[in-house]
């Protein structure tokens, strides 16, 4: 008779059970299962097209969504809880292919890490850092951002922690700071997302020329009830007159003068222009804000597209929407 060993059941909390499930990653599906789901989807699609008296060959996903909404109307607020019929590739998450051969030998040399795609990316990045160590001017990638953690996981088809994501971004930033990093621009752009350039939405005033051939630009600005008009003349000596008076006399407060000069200081064109301005309404603080906006808009004719975007990000091209609060009764 074989003696029975005592068995002790181990109980874990529900939170630990959920944590273990999350650590296991997304549920794995075999290719045979996916192929079967695709086949059932195609059969169901043809049946649905026949029910709706449509041609199955030209029955698109939009037609499917419209038909499902018609046949199964739902008042649920959560869209994911409503009936739907999507292609299996949209329902089942992407997953990595088999990573070993018939003999059980892994394909990748970093298989033991458990995140071979992630550590392979770090490995390639480190190789590039060591390869381009000489002195040169790095290339600036303006108008783009790093991919988010969820977007990185989708590209790698692996789950990474917040610490892994921060480590990757730090390594990418270090690569950007390296000389000759522009040689690996294609690799870097794989992990950056292009942002819409908002500066293209601004209307840039056309340059005008006086009888002497000097270029000048005219622009308007406003803040609260103050309205300002500016004429910016190139090849000047830095003279600034407001309502026929020198700006030092018109604005005795230093803060207002700094606000007036900030656009010129930001683009590095102090002393290049002669400025003639007229302003009316409100107080000196609001008038300085209106003049600053007018000067910024007039400068658009003299700066490059990249500098226009930098001015937009600095808030120089955005009108101040604040108004004076009404008096309480």
Q: What is the pLDDT of residues 147-181, one digit of tens each?
A: 889 988 888 888 889 999 999 999 888 888 777 77
In the chain, what are the domains? Answer: 31-91 (no CATH), 111-194 (no CATH), 208-314 (3.30.230.10)
Lowest mean pLDDT among 96-100, 223-227, 265-269: 96-100
Residue 127 pLDDT: 76
Distance between CA atoms of residues 204 and 311, nearest Å: 13
Position 145 scores a pLDDT of 82
Helix %, strand %, coil % for the chain, to 5? 45, 10, 40
Cβ neighbours of residue 164 closer than 8 Å, sequence gap 6 or more: 115, 118
**Separation between Cα atoms, residue 151 and residue 155, nearest integer Å:** 6
**Which has the closest alpha carbon to 150: 164, 140, 136, 139?**
164
To the nearest whole number, what is the mean pLDDT of the chain? Answer: 80
Check whether 3 has a pLDDT greater than 80: no
Pick the range with the lowest mean pLDDT from 51-55, 173-177, 194-198: 194-198
Say if strands 240-242 and 274-280 run parallel, antiparallel, or are unpaired. parallel
299 CB contacts (<8 Å, ≥6 apart)? 217, 232, 263, 264, 267, 269, 311
The gap between the terminal CA atoms of the chain, to the nearest Å, is 97
Return the HEC string of 10-72.
CCCCHHHHHHHHHHCCCCCCCHHHHHHHHHHHHHHHHHHHHHCCCCHHHCCHHHHHHHHHHHC
pLDDT tens digits for range 14-28: 565 555 544 455 555
Is the CB of residue 234 less than 8 Å from the CB of residue 266?
no
Q: Out of 88-97, 273-282, 320-329, which region has the weakest mean confidence (pLDDT)? A: 88-97
pTM for the full predicted model: 0.45
**Residue 195's pLDDT band (boundaries 50, 70, 90)?**
low
């Amino acid at each position: 008779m074989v003696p029975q060993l005592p068995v002790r059941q181990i109980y874990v909390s529900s939170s630990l059970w959920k944590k273990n499930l999350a650590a296991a990653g997304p549920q794995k599906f075999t290719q045979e299962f996916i192929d079967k789901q695709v086949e059932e989807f195609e059969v169901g699609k043809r049946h649905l097209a026949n029910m709706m008296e449509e041609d199955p060959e030209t029955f698109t996903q939009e037609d499917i969504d419209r038909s499902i909404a018609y046949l199964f109307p739902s008042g649920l607020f959560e869209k994911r809880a409503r009936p739907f019929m999507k292609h299996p590739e949209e329902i089942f998450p992407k997953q990595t292919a088999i990573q070993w051969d018939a003999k059980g030998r892994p394909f990748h040399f970093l298989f033991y890490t458990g995140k071979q795609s992630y550590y392979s990316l770090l490995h390639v990045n480190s190789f590039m850092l060591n390869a381009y160590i000489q002195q040169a001017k790095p290339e600036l990638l303006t108008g783009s951002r790093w991919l988010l953690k969820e977007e990185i996981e989708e590209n790698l088809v692996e789950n990474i922690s917040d610490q892994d994501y921060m480590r990757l971004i730090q390594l990418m930033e270090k690569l950007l700071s390296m000389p000759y990093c522009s040689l690996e621009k294609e690799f870097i752009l794989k992990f950056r997302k292009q942002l819409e350039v908002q500066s293209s939405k601004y209307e840039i005033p056309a340059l005008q020329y006086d009888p002497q051939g000097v270029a000048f630009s005219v622009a308007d600005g406003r803040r609260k009830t103050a309205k300002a008009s500016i004429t910016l003349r190139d090849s000047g000596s830095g003279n600034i007159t407001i309502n026929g008076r020198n700006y030092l006399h018109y604005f005795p407060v230093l803060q207002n003068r700094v606000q007036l000069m900030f656009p010129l200081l930001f683009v590095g064109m102090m002393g290049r222009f002669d400025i003639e301005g007229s302003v009316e309404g409100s107080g000196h603080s609001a008038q300085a804000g209106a003049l600053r906006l007018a000067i910024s808009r007039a400068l658009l004719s003299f700066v490059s597209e990249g500098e226009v975007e930098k001015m937009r990000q600095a808030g120089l091209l955005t009108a101040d929407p604040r108004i004076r609060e009404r008096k309480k009764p």
